[in-house]
Structure 1
Amino acid sequence: MTAPVTLRSFAVTATAAFLAACAVGPDYRAPEAPAVGLYTEKPQPEQTEAAPVRGGEVQRFEAGAKISAEWWTLFGSSELDNLMRTALTSHPTLAAAQAALRQAEENLNAQYAVLYPSVDASLSAKRQRITGAAFGNPAIPTNVFNLYNASVSVSYSIDLAGGARRELEALQAGIDFQRFQLEAAYLSLTGNVATTAFREASLREQIRATREIAESQERQVQLVEKQFALGAISRVDVLAQRAQLAQTRANLPPLEKALAQTRNQLAVLIGKFPGDAGLPQLDLSAFQLPQNLPLSLPSDLVRQRPDIRAAETVLHQTNARIGVAQALMFPQLTLSGSYGGAATSTPNLFDPGSRIWNIGAGLLQPVFHAGQLQARKRGAEAAYDQAFEFDAVALKAQAEAEAAARESLEVTRAQLQFGATSYLALYNAQRQYEQAKIGLVQAQAARYADTAALFQALGGGWWRRGDQDPAWPTLAK
C-alpha cells in the first residue's frame, strides 16, 4: 500500500504546484518578524518594586513564559470569573463577529464552485404558431403545434490565468481576517471587563476612604466646638474645621456618580441591562496580584496579537486581488455542451429521432475597455502598498506617602492636645493624609489594571484556548 499512497501524494503535490504556477499575480510572502529583542533602550528589570500594602507584592517577569488563555483567573476572584463567563456568552459584539466569520466561510464555500463544471437540467413545454411568411414564403399554410424540450447542459470555465484561484485565495484571507477580528473582539472584551471591574472596586474603596475621613473630621469638629465653648480657641478655627469637613463631603457625590456610571458600563460589557444585571459589589482587597508575569519577545508578539495578524491578512487579501485583476486581462476559455430531446408530443420526446445535442468552446480576449482593466490592476497594487510601563514604583511611593501622612496626622493631633502646635498645622496634616489615602487606593487599582493591560497587550493567550477550530493556526511552542 506504500507505493499508491506515495504516488497519490506526489500527484496531489504536483497538481497543486502546477496550478499555483499557472496563477498570475504575485505570490504572497508574509512579512518578516522584526529582529528586536528589547522593548526599550534599557533592559527590562527582572522584577517590580515592592510596597508594604495590599497589591504591592513583587511581580517577576518571565521572558518567553506561556500566557494563560484565561489570564483573568490569576487575579483569584470568583466574582471576576463569573463576570467574564457572562460577558463571553451574552455580549452582542462577539455574536456579530462570529456571524461575520460564518458569512466569510460560506462565501468561500460558494466560490469553490468555479473550480468544477456546472450541470443544469431543463424541461419546457410551449404552444407555437408559425406562418410561412416567417420563412419568406407566405404560401406555406399556418401551422399551430406543441413543442416539448428536455435537456441536460454542462458548462465549464477553464481558469487559464488563475484568476478564480486568486479569488479563492483572497476569500480564504478574508476568513482569516474575520477569525482574527473575532479574537480581537474577545481580547478587547475580556480586557475591558477586567479593567472596568478594577475601576468599580477602586471607586468603591475611594468612597469608603472618603467617608472614613469625613467621620474623622466630624469627630474633630465636635472636639473643636467644645474647645471653642471653653474659650480655648477662636471661632476662625471652628469655621476652618467645618469648611474642611464640607469639602470632604463634597467629594462624595462625584465619586458616587462615577461608580454608578462604571457599574452601568460593566453591565453593558456583560450584555445585560443595568437594571437587571445583578452585579456584585467588588472589593479591591479581594483581588490577588499575579506574581509571575509573562513577557514575550517583540518578534513573537507580532504573531500573538490578533490585531496585527488581522492587518497581515488584509495584506494577503490585497496581494491576491492583484492576481484577480491581472487575470481579467488574459483570455477566458469556456467549454459547454448539452444533450436532450425535442418533440411535438411527450411520448416522442425520447425517441432516437428527437434527440438534440450541441458542444462548443468559447474564447474571450479583452481587447479594449478604455483602460478599465489596467486601472483595476493598479488600484489593487495601490491597496497592497497601503496595506507597558508598570506602576510598581508609583504604588510604593504612594504607600510610603500615605504612611508618612498618617503618622504626621497622629503626631500633630497629639501635639495639639498638649498645646505644642496650632490648628493650622492640624488642618494641613489632615489634608495631606486625605490626599495620600485616596492616592494610595488609585495606585493600587492602577497596579491591577496595568497587569490586565499587559496580558491584553501580549495577545491574551487566545491560541491556547480549548475551543479553537483544529484548522486554526497555532502558536503554541
Structure 2
Amino acid sequence: MKTARLNHARRTALAAVLGGATLALLTGCMVGPDYQRPGDTMSTHYDTGAEQQLDHPRADGAPRVDFDATIDADWWMLFHSPRLDAVVKKAIDGNLDLDAASATIAQADEAIAAAGGALQPQVGFGAQAGRQRTGFGAGRATSNVYSVGPTVSFDLDLFGGTRRRIEETTAAADIQRHRFDAAYLTVTGDVVTQAIQLASARAQIDAVNDLLVTDRHNLALVQGAKTYGSATRGDIALAQSQLAQDETLLPPLAQQRDTAKHALSVLAGQGPADWVPPDFDLADFKLPSALPLSVPSELARQRPDILAAESQLHAASAAIGVATADLYPHLQLSGALTQASAGTGVGTLWGIVGALTGPIFDGGTLQANRRASVDAYQVSLANYRQTLLVSLGQVADVLQGIDHDAEEYAAQGRALDAAEASLQLSQEGFRAGDASVLAVLDAQRARQRALIGQIRARTAQYLDAVQLTVALGGRSDKAFLRRAGEATPTAP
C-alpha cells in the first residue's frame, strides 16, 4: 500500500510539472524581432562594359560569359583535366584546414544540442544521510536520518528567451558551415591556381632553355667570327650580355615551379618530401569557351562569405530577442519527491513550487544590454552589405581582367606570328646568301621571347577563369556534406 501511494504521488508531481511546461509552450510568446533575410542587391550588373564585351564569341578566342549556365559542383572540370581532378580530390580529402573546419562544425552542433536541452525538464537526484540527536535529558535519542528522491524543474520560457538563444546558436552553427564552404572554395581554387602556375613555369623554363641554346650558339659564332676578323670585342661583349640576361630568367621560374609543387603538397595534407604532385603541362588544360556567370541577385545566395555574413546577421537578430526576454519575468516550475526517515519513522514527502522572478531595478543594465544588441545588429548589417559590395567588385575586376588578358593574348599572338615570319625570312635569306647566321639566330631568339610572352598571357587567361569561378562561389554549397559523402549537389 505504501509503495502504491509513493508511485501515485511521484506520478502526480511529475504530471503537474510536465503539464505546466506543456501549457507554457502552447501559450508562451517570443519577444524580439523575427529574422528577415535582407533583400536582393539593387545592382543588376557587375560591369556593364565588360559584360557587353564578353557576352558574345570573340575573334581573339577569349571565353565569353553565359548568364544561362550554372557552375558545376566540380567546377575545376571546366579545364577538362583528369590529372587536375585527381589532385583536387586528393586535397579535398586530406586538407587539414578542412579537417579543422569539420571539427568546428561538430562543436557548433553540440552547442545547439546543449542550448536545446534548456527546453526540456531538468530531472535530478538528491540524497542525504547522517546521524542526529534529539530531545533533552532522559528523552534524548540518537538516530540515523536519510532522505532520497528525484527533483524536476522546468523553465517555462514564457517570453522565448531560451528559444531565441537556440536560434542564435543555430545561426552561429550556420556561420561555421558557410566558413567550411569558404575554406573548401579556397582550397580547390588554390589547387587549380598552383597547378596552372606549375604548368606555366615548366613551359616557360622549356622556352628559356631553348633561348639559352640560341644565345650560346650565337656567342660561339661571334667568338669564331672574331678569330677571322669579322667580329669585334664589342660584338662578343654584346652576345655575352644577352646570354647573361637570359640566364637570369631561369631561377625565378624554377622557384615558381618548386613553390607551386610544395604548395600542392601542403594543400593535400602532405609534406613536400612525402608527396610530390604530378608535373602539370599547359597541354593538360583546355581554356573553356564559355564561363558561367550568375546575376548579382544570385551571388548573395552562392558565395559562402556572403552567406556567413548573413548568418551572423541572423545571430545578431536572435541576440536582440535574448536581451529583450531578460527584461521580462521568468516562471519556473519545480517538483520534488523525497523518501525520508528520522529514527524509526519513514515517510514520503513531495512538493510542487512555482517561482516567478523578474527585474524591478537593475541600474539600467538590462536595457543597456538590449540597446547594445541592437547596435550589434546594425554592425552585422553593415558588414553584410560591405561583404556583398566587395564581392560585386571582385567579380567586376575579374570580368575586366578576362577582357584585357584576351587582348594581351591576342597581341602576344601577333608578336609571335611576326617573329616566326621574321625567322622564316632570315632562314630563307641565309640559304640564299643574303643574311648571316647571326641574323637567323637573332630571329630565333626573338621568336623564343615572343613564345614566353604568349605562355604568360595564356596563363593569365587560365587564372582569370579560376578567379571568376571562385568569385562567384564555385558551387561550394553543402561542401561539408559532399566531403563526408552524405549529399550530392543540387541545381541552384
Please give the TM-score of this superposition, normalised by the length of structure 1: 0.85
Q: Is the 8 A contact 2:482 2:488 kept in 1?
A: no
Tell me the distance in 2 between the aligned counterparts of 1:145 and 1:162.
49
Deviations along 1:346-375, one digit per CA (max 9) or x if unpaired, are x965xxxx1111111111111222222122
Residues 48 and 453 (structure 1 numbering): CA distance in 2 closer, same or farther, change over 3 Å? Answer: farther
- Match of 1:175, SS? helix
User: C-alpha displacement at 1:211, in angstroms?
Assistant: 0.5
* Residue of structure 2 equivalent to 1:122: 126
Q: Is the 8 A contact 2:28 2:159 kept in 1?
A: no
State which of 27, 36, 46 in structure 1 corresponds to 2:55.
46
* Residue of structure 1 equivalent to 2:215: 217
Give the RMSD, CA atoms, in angstroms: 3.0
Tell me the distance in 1 between the aligned counterparts of 2:118 and 2:163.
9
Deviations along 1:291-342, one digit per CA (max 9) or x if unpaired, are 2311111111111111101100000000100110111111011111111210
User: C-alpha displacement at 1:427, in angstroms?
Assistant: 8.9
State which of 369, 379, 383 in structure 2 corresponds to 1:376.
369
Tell me the distance in 2 between the aligned counterparts of 1:261 and 1:301.
33
Deviations along 1:68-93, one digit per CA (max 9) or x if unpaired, are 00011221222211111111111111
* Residue of structure 1 equivalent to 2:321: 323
- Match of 2:482, SS? coil
Between 310-319 and 331-340, the greater mean CA deviation after superposition: 331-340
State which of 455, 470, 481 in structure 2 corresponds to 1:441.
455
* Residue of structure 1 equivalent to 2:88: 84
5 Å matches for 1:321-360?
321-344=319-342, 349=346, 354-360=347-353
Between 181-190 and 384-393, the greater mean CA deviation after superposition: 384-393
Tell me the distance in 2 between the aligned counterparts of 1:371 and 1:475.
50
Q: Is the 8 A contact 1:330 1:366 kept in 2?
A: yes
User: C-alpha displacement at 1:264, in angstroms?
Assistant: 1.1
Deviations along 1:147-178, one digit per CA (max 9) or x if unpaired, are 12121211111111111111111111112111
Q: Is the 8 A contact 1:49 1:396 kept in 2?
A: no
* Residue of structure 2 equivalent to 1:398: 412
User: C-alpha displacement at 1:250, in angstroms?
Assistant: 2.3
Q: Percent identity?
A: 37
Paired letter, 1:437:
L
Residues 80 and 469 (structure 1 numbering): CA distance in 2 closer, same or farther, change over 3 Å? Answer: closer
State which of 461, 466, 474 in structure 2 corresponds to 1:452.
466
* Residue of structure 2 equivalent to 1:9: none
State which of 274, 288, 291 in structure 1 corresponds to 2:289.
291
Tell me the distance in 2 between the aligned counterparts of 1:87 and 1:28.
37
Q: Is the 8 A contact 1:333 1:361 kept in 2?
A: yes
Tell me the distance in 2 between the aligned counterparts of 1:126 and 1:80.
74
Residues 326 and 214 (structure 1 numbering): CA distance in 2 closer, same or farther, change over 3 Å? Answer: same
Tell me the distance in 2 between the aligned counterparts of 1:199 and 1:176.
34
Q: Is the 8 A contact 1:64 1:297 kept in 2?
A: no
Q: Is the 8 A contact 1:304 1:475 kept in 2?
A: no
Paired letter, 1:79:
R
* Structure 2: segments with no counterpart, 5+ residues: 1-21, 381-397
Matched, 1:27 2:27: no
Tell me the distance in 2 between the aligned counterparts of 1:421 and 1:116.
95
Tell me the distance in 2 between the aligned counterparts of 1:65 and 1:254.
39
* Residue of structure 1 equivalent to 2:111: 107
* Residue of structure 2 equivalent to 1:4: none
Q: Is the 8 A contact 1:237 1:423 kept in 2?
A: no
- Match of 1:161, SS? coil
Paired letter, 1:26:
P
- Match of 1:22, SS? coil
Q: Is the 8 A contact 2:426 2:443 kept in 1?
A: yes
5 Å matches for 1:175-254?
175-254=173-252
Q: Is the 8 A contact 1:331 1:364 kept in 2?
A: yes
State which of 71, 74, 97 in structure 2 corresponds to 1:67.
71
Tell me the distance in 2 between the aligned counterparts of 1:206 and 1:473.
39
- Match of 1:459, SS? coil
Tell me the distance in 1 between the aligned counterparts of 2:155 and 2:77.
55
User: C-alpha displacement at 1:418, in angstroms?
Assistant: 7.7
Alignment coverage as a number of residue pairs: 445
Tell me the distance in 1 between the aligned counterparts of 2:287 and 2:314.
40
* Residue of structure 1 equivalent to 2:266: 268
- Match of 2:301, SS? helix
Deviations along 1:400-457, one digit per CA (max 9) or x if unpaired, are 1222234335545766888868999889867654543222111111111111111111
- Match of 1:462, SS? coil
* Residue of structure 2 equivalent to 1:476: 491
Q: Is the 8 A contact 2:208 2:250 kept in 1?
A: yes
Paired letter, 1:239:
A
Tell me the distance in 1 between the aligned counterparts of 2:198 and 2:474.
22
Matched, 1:408 2:422: yes
* Residue of structure 2 equivalent to 1:8: none
- Match of 1:276, SS? coil
* Residue of structure 1 equivalent to 2:151: 153
Between 446-455 and 220-229, the greater mean CA deviation after superposition: 220-229
